[in-house]
């Protein structure tokens, strides 16, 4: 995901519905009547002069970060339905590429993802859910390409610094072991790895990584560099460094605005939009996606485009609500939404496969919009056309210059190996816009190609049309999922191990990493618990807080009671909180009501995660008269905000602190429930519950 500089812009476009020009759906009969009255253009489609660049595919990004966190929580059959819509060939998005975060225990946009190595002697390839997601994708499409990219790194990689290149060999081994673990533990063959998401690249590190991969028998794993916004920098270095040129297989750029620099094109390397889109998944987001899928190739020679993000499986009130291809963030209800960008994806992915070739005869339409053509060089031909207007296709970034699009007619003239051999093409149609009767990914039957190799169609504004010889496309469907519902209240979790996953359901880590933990003995009644396990601050991608925190629940919660048992271990203190108002890269600024148990013998109520704004505090040994407090053992904690905005904090069944919220308290009216620690140290939590106050 983008760095913090882009957060404000992303918030604008992800959360604000822009004004639109409403267009009604046009029936096929209307198209024929407009052939003679609309602007017309003729476009040659053929391989007379050979073919162009190889098509590398369309993909989605899980991570950057924790964007698929809630997906694993879905019950069957809904979880399988969602996965089918994303990955099953000839069904839904039918994605060709799955890119995942190589977790580093640090915040990377929506949350943290677990590292496979928390120290030099630690290797664990069962943490997190990206392994599971890659296996699910592969089970549906064995040909899907897998890409791994780090955002954060565990602290030991930095060797006392915030720089992952401090010891290049160590970092290269860390990434290489992730690739090897994917194969040995999950039988997953990783196809590509990246360097460091949207952060400075190091030429010598890239060379070191290439040598390390080769030495491990992974010469087939290709390197994408540098996954940033200024791709001309790595391109210049490639042009002047032969070893680097041999190390880098693909130039990856983020949010390129459909253009590539002259230097980048001159390298001769495949160019990918290795992260793009990031736009609220309404009809404007679908228009953005449709436009860049074509124009990344037409304008920028980019042969693959990967959407951030794959699926909104994170809480809506974390940053970047619904900036994804589809939405599935209510596992408690089973509800999911097939958003328009998913079906826009199908216009390409169901009609061309990686390894196909773009024809050289691609370009812009005379009335605005663009077209691309691809072939498998075995007689099949696909043409994809988009006519997205400016206001209906604004992406998050960069700014989109003004342009116009008109209703128009197009005649595609087939030449070369297609002339005389392609006699009809199957047509699939999407009409975007704000009208209630718009349709997406409709099978419109076939259109004839005349004896001269010409096929003529009408192109309404804000439409996506695919013409293809491929006959296997399908708009997949399942029974309507359950209706959406609020997060359940009351809610409880005893943290019995979640089968197949290292994290319990519904918690979303915002700093640190929390896992289900099995104690060697259950004599104290706490066999399975929820544990914060990161003991060293990561090499961060965001400006992570010095505390750790995980959130859960309904952001609208206001007057509730939270109960939990807490055992501080190596941490100096632990807390339970409610009305927590921020997550993501802004987690350090999170306000709310925090009830802390500290090892200096004190308990506190604060209104912020950093514990700088004290509401109430007392020390057990001379101020607080609460029996049975154990600094090293288990303590039962209860925090309530009642309907009169009175805060009550209980410790081991006795009232310990209370505070009345006033206008000057600067406490949010609502927010998430949270658990956390005062530093990067271990602590356990158990017997968690939330009820109405």
Residues classed as catalytic: 198, 275
CA distances for 220 relative to 149, 649, 687, angstroms: 17, 58, 48
Cβ-based burial of 649 (10 A; exposed 0-12, middle 13-18, buried ≥19): buried
Say which DSSP state 67 is in: T
Q: Give the bridge partners for 641, in sequence order.
A: 647
The two three-digit tokens of residue 275, written as one number = 């992260």
Q: Which stretch of DSSP H or E encloses residue 445?
A: strand 442-448
- What is the C-alpha to C-alpha distance for residues 108 and 101, in angstroms, rounded to an integer? 9
> Angle between the 78-87 and 130-140 helix axes, to the nearest 10 degrees?
70
- What is the C-alpha to C-alpha distance for residues 564 and 566, in angstroms, rounded to an integer? 6
The string of DSSP codes covering 569-631 is SSSSEEEEEEEE---GGGGGG-EEEEEEEETTSEEEEEEETTS-SEEEEEETTTT---TT--S
How far does Cα 330 stand from its chain's mean position? 16
The string of DSSP codes covering 299-360 is HH-EEEEEEE-SEE-S-TTSSSTT-SSEEEEETTTTEEE--HHHHHHHHHHTT--BTBEEES
Scanning the structure block, which residue is given the tokens 């540098």?
Answer: 226
Helix, strand, or coil here: 684? strand
The string of DSSP codes covering 273-293 is EEEEE---SSHHHHHHHHHHH
The two three-digit tokens of residue 295, written as one number = 């124009």
C-alpha triplet 550, 106, 328: angle, nearest 5°? 60
Closest alpha carbon to 103 in 144, 140, 149: 149
């Amino acid at each position: 995901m983008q760095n913090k500089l882009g957060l404000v812009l992303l918030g604008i476009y992800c959360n604000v519905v822009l004004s639109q020009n409403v267009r009604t759906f046009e029936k096929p009969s209307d198209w024929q009547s407009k052939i003679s009255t609309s602007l017309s253009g003729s476009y040659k489609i053929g391989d007379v002069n050979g073919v162009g660049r190889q098509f590398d595919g369309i993909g989605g990004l899980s991570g950057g970060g924790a964007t698929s966190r809630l997906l694993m929580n879905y019950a069957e059959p809904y979880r399988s339905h969602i996965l089918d819509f994303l990955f099953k060939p000839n069904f839904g998005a039918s994605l060709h590429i799955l890119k995942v975060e190589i977790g580093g225990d640090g915040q990377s946009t929506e949350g943290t993802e677990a590292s496979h190595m928390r120290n030099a002697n630690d290797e664990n390839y069962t943490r997190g859910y990206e392994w599971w997601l890659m296996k699910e994708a592969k089970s549906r499409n064995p040909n899907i390409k897998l890409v791994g990219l780090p955002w954060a790194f565990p602290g030991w990689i930095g060797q006392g610094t915030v720089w992952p290149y401090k010891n290049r060999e160590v970092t290269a081994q860390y990434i290489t072991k992730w690739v090897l673990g994917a194969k040995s533990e999950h039988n997953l063959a990783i196809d590509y790895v990246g360097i460091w998401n949207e952060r400075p690249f190091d030429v010598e590190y890239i060379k070191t990584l290439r040598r390390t991969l080769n030495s491990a028998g992974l010469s087939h794993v290709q390197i994408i560099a540098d996954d940033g916004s200024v791709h001309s920098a790595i391109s210049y270095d490639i042009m002047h460094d032969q070893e680097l040129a041999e190390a880098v297989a693909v130039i990856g750029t983020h949010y390129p605005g459909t253009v590539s620099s002259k230097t980048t094109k001159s390298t001769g390397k495949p160019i990918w939009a290795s992260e793009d889109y990031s736009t609220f998944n309404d009809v404007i987001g679908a228009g953005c996606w449709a436009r860049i899928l074509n124009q990344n190739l037409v304008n920028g020679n980019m042969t693959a485009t990967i959407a951030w993000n794959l699926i909104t499986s994170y809480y809506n009130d974390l940053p970047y609500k619904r900036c994804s291809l589809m939405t599935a963030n209510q596992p408690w209800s089973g509800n999911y939404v097939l958003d328009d960008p998913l079906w826009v994806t199908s216009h390409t992915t169901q009609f061309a496969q990686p390894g196909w070739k773009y024809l050289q005869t691609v370009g812009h339409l005379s009335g605005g919009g663009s077209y691309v053509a691809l072939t498998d060089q075995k007689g099949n031909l696909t043409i994809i056309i988009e006519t997205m207007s400016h206001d209906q296709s604004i992406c998050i970034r960069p700014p989109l210059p003004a342009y116009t699009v008109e209703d128009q007619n197009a005649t595609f003239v087939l030449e070369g190996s297609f002339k005389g051999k392609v006699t009809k093409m199957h047509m699939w149609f999407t009409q975007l816009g704000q009208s209630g009767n718009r349709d997406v990914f409709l099978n419109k039957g076939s259109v004839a190609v005349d004896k001269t190799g010409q096929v003529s169609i009408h192109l309404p504004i804000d439409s996506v049309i695919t013409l293809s010889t491929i006959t296997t496309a399908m708009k997949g469907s399942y029974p309507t999922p359950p209706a959406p519902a609020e997060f359940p209240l009351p809610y409880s979790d005893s943290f019995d191990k979640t089968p197949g996953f290292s994290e319990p359901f519904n918690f979303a880590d915002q700093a640190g990493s929390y896992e289900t933990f099995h104690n060697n003995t259950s004599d104290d009644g706490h066999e399975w618990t929820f544990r914060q396990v990161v003991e060293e601050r990561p090499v961060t991608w965001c400006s992570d807080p010095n505390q750790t925190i995980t959130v859960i629940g309904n952001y609208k919660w206001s007057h509730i009671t939270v109960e939990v048992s807490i055992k501080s271990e190596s941490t100096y203190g632990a807390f339970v909180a409610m009305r927590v108002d921020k997550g993501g890269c802004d987690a350090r600024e999170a306000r709310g009501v925090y009830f802390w148990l500290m090892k200096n013998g004190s308990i506190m109520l604060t209104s912020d995660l950093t514990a700088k704004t004290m509401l109430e505090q007392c020390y057990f040994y001379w101020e607080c008269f609460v029996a049975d407090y154990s600094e090293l053992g288990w303590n039962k904690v209860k925090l309530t905000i009642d309907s009169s905005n009175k805060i009550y904090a209980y410790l081991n069944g006795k009232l310990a602190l209370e505070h009345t919220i006033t206008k000057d308290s600067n406490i949010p009216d609502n927010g998430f429930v949270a658990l956390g620690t005062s530093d990067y140290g271990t602590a356990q939590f158990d017997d968690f519950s939330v009820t109405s106050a």
